A = this chain, B = another copy of it.
Amino acid sequence: MKNSPRPKSSQPIPPHAKKVFEGVVFDVYQWEQKLYDGTTTTFEKLVQADTVTVFPVLDDGRILLLEQEQPGRDPFISTTGGHVDPGEEILAAAKRELLEESGYEAEEYIPWLILQPLSKIDWVINIFIAKGLKKVSGMQLDGGEKIILKPVTFDEFLEYGTREEFVEKEVARRLLEAKIDPAKMAELRRLFSPSR
């Protein structure tokens, strides 16, 4: 995983782009882009910190989802995860977020998806499946999080994961694809089985 290249955006920020704003979540870059007719115009794109998402699979086969509230936001369903800190290894961020949000440590982290979901934001999501879980502490939440742990069976995961309020849209898509294609469903079951 450490050596996986960071996936390229479908619309990369070119080297000559200038950072025109630095925010608390988003930085804004602009550059002069030559168009097909020879004219130029200003293009704009955002950068935000990459994120990790970790789906914990308990030894009894249940998958740990999170019912989550944040101030000023509708309640949503997710799993453990968050931003990669500056300079932090991706796997270290995955371990930290799993521990902070669930109190679990894992023996194995299986990289599942690594992709840039949006063309207008430079942002990579790294999605892991964690197995061999051991509860080592309580949750260590910050003041902007309210989290209820929600262990679900694989079949319940297929249902919750395709609801509107489930925020991992790239995962929702793969659950829907698995419901259509038996080979993909078998692969998904294998991926989310507790055996290693």
Q: Is the CB of A46 within 8 A of B26?
A: yes
Residues of B within 8 A of A73 (CB): 10-11, 119
Q: How many residues on chain A are close to B (CB under 8 Å)?
A: 47
Q: What is the minimal beta-carbon distance from A175 to any residue of chain B, in angstroms? A: 9
Decide if the interface of chain A is mainly helix, strand, loop or mixed: loop
A133 to B68, CA, bound (A): 46
A interface list, Cβ under 8 A from B: 10-12, 14, 20-21, 23-26, 28, 30, 33-39, 41-44, 46, 70-74, 76, 118-120, 142-146, 162, 167, 169, 172-173, 176-177, 179-180
Ranked 10 nearest A-B pairs via Cβ? A37-B143, A35-B143, A176-B176, A11-B73, A21-B21, A10-B74, A25-B44, A35-B144, A24-B44, A179-B180
